Amino acid sequence: MEDGKCIMTWDLLGGEHDLIAAAQHLVQALAAKKNFTDTERKLLAEIGAQLCTLAVRVEPNEVKEVPDVTYIEERLNAVEVRINNWEADQSMLWECGEEEVSLYLNCVNETLEIISSLEQQPFREGVDDSPLLRRVHDILQIAMTRLEDEFKYILSLNQIPFEPQVVSFRSSEDDICVDESLMNSFEDDSREVILKENSGRCSEEHSIDLVNPDVIPDLRLIANLMTSSNYHHECTNAYISLRKEALEECLLNLEIEKLSIEEVLKMEWGCLSSKIKRWIRAMKVFVPHYLTREKYLSEQIFGDSGPMSVSCFLESSKLSILQLLNFGGAIAIGPHEPEKLFRVLDMYEVLTDLVTEIDSLFATEDGSSVRIECHEVLERLGDCVRSTAMEFENAIATNVSTVPFAGGGIHHLTKYVMNYIRLLIDYNAILNLLLKDCQKEDVTLAQTAKAPTMKLDNETDCSLTTLPMAIYFRSVSCVLEAKLNEKSTLYKDASLQHFFMMNNIHYMAQKVMNSELRSHFGDEWIRKHNWKFQQEAINYERASWSPILALLKEDGLYHAGSKSISKTLLKERFRTFHLVFEDIYKSQTSWVISDPQLREDLRISTSLKVIQAYRAFHGRHVSEIGEKYTKYHADDLEELILDLFEASQKSLQSSHRR
């Protein structure tokens, strides 16, 4: 076709002829031509677009008549040419400029008007099955398929990959925008407020866009047009498919893997602990930041509160949130090993903080499965916390030793237990909530342990001491004391039994007195245990030094029936004293007291008793037998006592220390 021929055609028709008839004539002429140049194709497209926009003009007082089928068919021909031309073109509409988009959308609207006109025909009985109606629906389907492709193209091209660092983390410890040093200075009821306030600020300061905001109007326009054309399923399915992929990518960026329950249960603790930390971090980001914006995105495209936006959000996000919740559920049903308690508490804490938000995001009936799963996982995690806490007591009570702990020092179990419960203070509010049903008048393993002299302390000197967690802590300490008492019997030396108990009870008392545990155990508990370790120290001195002190008494040194001292017996007494002291020195230099103050106090106490008695005895009798029979002076012994309790065994083989 040449431009001149096109003009001639218009001239021949003239301005008096009907414009639609001219268009029909032009279309028929062009339809016979098989090959078109780019210029001809463009001209044809422009003419077709103009024809699409033509409407029947009606005067104000003129009664509009239902257009006849011939007229409708003429309009349909023009629309069909335009849409088919675009189908032959591989370009995307939204890459060709606003004018092309507008022309195409006008054609779609014209198609919808044609369908409406056909449905208004007088004899409806045969219209639905008419070839013309089927033809116009075929054209509409072509247009809708094109718009669906355009929708997916725009959405996929403009999705913004989620980067976790966009949401500010204070540190690798997974706390979002929270200053822990400040938070720990407040009571527990303030801690929750601080978390919520900071969490809110994080959301406002780090609002994220999931799709380029500039294309939202275009996506909304296509969605509205496809919805009005009864092609909403195609549009929403395209949206859901793409957003599901985006959500999966988000979880991958947060280092969350798809794991079955069996895979979680078989995992070694070191690996599992790392995955729990990632899960906690992911939950803190995914729910309040990502899912909130995901819901907002669907509302922007499909309407603020319409069923389509709700459905799109639910269908696109349900699998991802359930994947996270299923991991939490798998952890909850795993073995209740004590080392897992802190991680489970962290999981329970973060899910507790998010449960209200999850309920809000999935508030509709279709979202009930997510809400139910969330609450069930939270309940199972709570049960896991309670069971693990009780299992911790059981693990202490059933801890088995077949050999005595070297040196009578602080047992590994003592350190582990006391540091364990000290760390639990950070979960004060949660544990008080979860353990309240576990305390039945203090009926715990502590009461059945084989330690009849040990009872739970029921102090009322501080309000915290009556809370479930405080009762639990004291119960654990009772179980520990009972187990330590049992372990002490592994020593054959009675003095070492008391030495061992002194060390361990002193450690427990100091750990409580010098930490936040003090407010939970109470001052009365501390006084009792200070008295306990002091009594064990006294019992140690009696068992260890009483025999040697007996050698420094006058009894048994006199001749039979005389008041004079036997030099032979006196020499034997000094010799025996030296041998016994050297044996004690050799053994007790290998014993250990880790606490410097306790070590110094016990040395001083021993020196006061032994050195004073030896100095007095030596002073009274050295002149009777001579220096060569007194191996040590009092000052020598005093220096030797300073070697005790250093965990480095020494032996006295030299004859004198002067």
Residues contacting 30, CB < 8 A, separation 6+:
1, 44
Global pTM?
Answer: 0.74
Q: Is residue 373 part of a domain?
A: yes
d(CA 114, CA 128): 13
Q: What is the 3-state secondary structure of 499-533?
A: HHHHHHHHHHHHHHHCCCCHHHHCHHHHHHHHHHH
Q: Is residue 469 part of a domain?
A: yes
pLDDT at 626: 75
Helix (H) or strand (E) holding 616, with range, is helix 596-625
3-class DSSP state of 558: strand
Same domain flag for 539 and 571: no
Looking up residue 248, the CATH number of its domain turns out to be 1.20.1280.170
Same domain flag for 105 and 153: yes
Q: Is residue 185 part of a domain?
A: no
Q: Is residue 348 part of a domain?
A: yes
Q: What dihedral do alpha carbons 445, 448, 449, 450 form, nearest 10°?
A: 180
d(CA 445, CA 583): 41
Residues contacting 140, CB < 8 A, separation 6+:
108, 111, 112, 115, 229
Same domain flag for 561 and 429: no
Same domain flag for 294 and 385: yes
Same domain flag for 146 and 237: no
Containing structural domain, residue 519? 408-442+465-544
**Which DSSP string corresponds to 133-172?**
HHHHHHHHHHHHHHHHHHHHHHHHHHB----GGGS--SST
Same domain flag for 478 and 565: no
Residue 185 has which token pair?
A: 């200075």
Q: Is residue 220 part of a domain?
A: no
Same domain flag for 500 and 355: no
Q: Is residue 187 part of a domain?
A: no
Q: Is residue 623 part of a domain?
A: yes
Same domain flag for 138 and 251: no
d(CA 105, CA 547): 108
d(CA 484, CA 459): 23
Helix (H) or strand (E) holding 270, with range, is helix 269-285
Same domain flag for 277 and 416: no
Same domain flag for 373 and 252: yes
- Contact in structure between 396 and 479 (CB atoms under 8 Å): yes
Q: How far is CA 136 from CA 52, 74, 127, 240, 422, in A?
A: 14, 12, 12, 28, 76
The 10s digit of each residue's pLDDT in 220-279 is 999 999 998 899 999 999 999 999 999 999 999 999 999 999 999 999 999 999 999 999
- DSSP 3-state percent helix, strand, coil across the chain (nearest 5): 70, 0, 25
pLDDT at 299: 93
Q: Quick one: residue 106, left, alpha or beta (phi over 0 = left, psi -120 to 50 = alpha)?
A: alpha
pLDDT under 50: residue ranges of the chain: 1-17, 49, 52-64, 123-127, 168-205, 440-462, 654-658
Q: Is residue 210 part of a domain?
A: no
Helices 3-13 & 19-31, crossing angle to 10 degrees?
140
The 10s digit of each residue's pLDDT in 161-203 is 877 665 544 333 333 333 333 223 323 333 333 233 333 333 3
Q: How far is CA 266 from CA 274, 325, 335, 392, 635, in A?
A: 15, 18, 10, 21, 64
Sign of CA dihedral 471, 475, 480, 481: positive
d(CA 431, CA 382): 9
Residue 232 has which token pair?
A: 């909403």
3-class DSSP state of 211: strand
Q: What dihedral do alpha carbons 67, 71, 76, 81 form, nearest 10°?
A: -150
pLDDT at 67: 55
pLDDT at 173: 38
3-class DSSP state of 632: strand
Q: What is the 3-state secondary structure of 456-492?
A: CCCCCCCHHHHCHHHHHHHHHHHHHHHHHHHHHCCCC
Decide: residue 317, CB within 10 A, 0-12 exposed, 13-18 middle, 19+ buried.
buried
pLDDT at 523: 93
C-beta neighbour count of 235 within 10 angstroms: 26
Q: How far is CA 132 from CA 69, 137, 523, in A?
A: 9, 9, 94
- Contact in structure between 329 and 264 (CB atoms under 8 Å): no
Same domain flag for 565 and 420: no
C-beta neighbour count of 533 within 10 angstroms: 21
| Gyration radius of the chain's alpha carbons | 45
Same domain flag for 476 and 596: no
Residue 240 has which token pair?
A: 């859901």
3-class DSSP state of 121: coil
How many structural domains are present in the chain? 4
pLDDT at 64: 44
pLDDT at 598: 95
